[in-house]
Copies of this chain bind each other. A is one copy, B any other.
Amino acid sequence: VLRIKPGDTVETQTFSRAGDYYTPEKAGPWPGEVGPFFIEGAVPGDTLVVRILKLAPNRDVAISSVTPNGISGVAGDSRTRMLNDPLPTRRFVWRLDRERMVGILDLPNSNSKRIEAPLRPMLGRVAVAPAGEEAWGGLWPGDFGGNLDASDVTQGATIHLPVFHPGALFYFGDFHALQGDGEIVGSGLESTADVTFQFELVKGKRIRWPRIENDEYIMVAGSVRPLIDALRIAYVELIEWLVADYGFDKMEAYQVASQVGVVRVANVVDPNYTVIAKFPKRLLPRP
């Protein structure tokens, strides 16, 4: 949909698959994605660097639904098939107070009739076109990024993605105004947002899995089932990153990462689960 040069800044929006997707009256669970963006000069073996300069909700409402055939981290679903009866259908409409940056949900069946939770805007999906000729459903995360559903993908973060195809073919979407670790209900506060990206290209640098940086951490996002293997990918890749770029001995990196590493369980509902392993920047050697 757009050709971009390294260094370019792009102001855009996430949007809904249908224009009225996120009205309280009629809403589906997942918004559409935006893309692909063709990054000029990107070729397989490069790394695409995407800075999220801005990520701000632009609607007053967000939706999160539970459906009997839907996905869940704590109930039977199509991948974890159970003989138990499915959960009932429920659809939750959150009001977004963008002034105070809180989400408000009425809880008619609970003693506390309402809850207000601080928003933490994030992009569920940042991706490049996957390797080979595979076409993945939008729900998949993987080594190409995709539906990571990681709350670390937010304003101020920088995302590194491996380039598998000429132009990288970046896309993004699935804005969540808020989402808990694991996203156990299968969706966050699904809404739309204004986004500003800046793109860079690291020529000839090949990474195997998405990397994320913010002021505090360097991070790797591993995506696969089962959950322990997503954690293994994230930690092993993080250790190998410490070895390759920061001059650590492998066993010493393993020791140190084990003592200071931080783990986020991003999602346990997508076709692949996603785990983020983090290493504090202040403990990295100075260049």
Contacts and interface: CB of A to CB of B under 8 A. Distances in A.
Interface of A: 64, 66, 72-76, 79-88, 90, 92, 103, 105, 107, 109-112, 115-117, 132-137, 178-186, 188-189, 222, 224-229, 231-233, 235-237, 239, 246-265, 268, 273, 275, 283-285
B103 A249 contact: no
A87 B251 contact: yes
A249 B109 contact: yes
30 contacts: A66-B251, A73-B235, A74-B82, A75-B82, A76-B76, A76-B82, A79-B224, A81-B237, A83-B239, A84-B84, A85-B85, A90-B251, A103-B259, A107-B248, A107-B249, A107-B252, A109-B252, A110-B248, A111-B247, A133-B135, A134-B135, A134-B137, A178-B260, A180-B257, A180-B259, A184-B261, A225-B229, A226-B226, A228-B268, A231-B268
A262 B83 CA distance: 18
A246 B112 contact: yes
Contacts of A117: 256, 259-260, 283
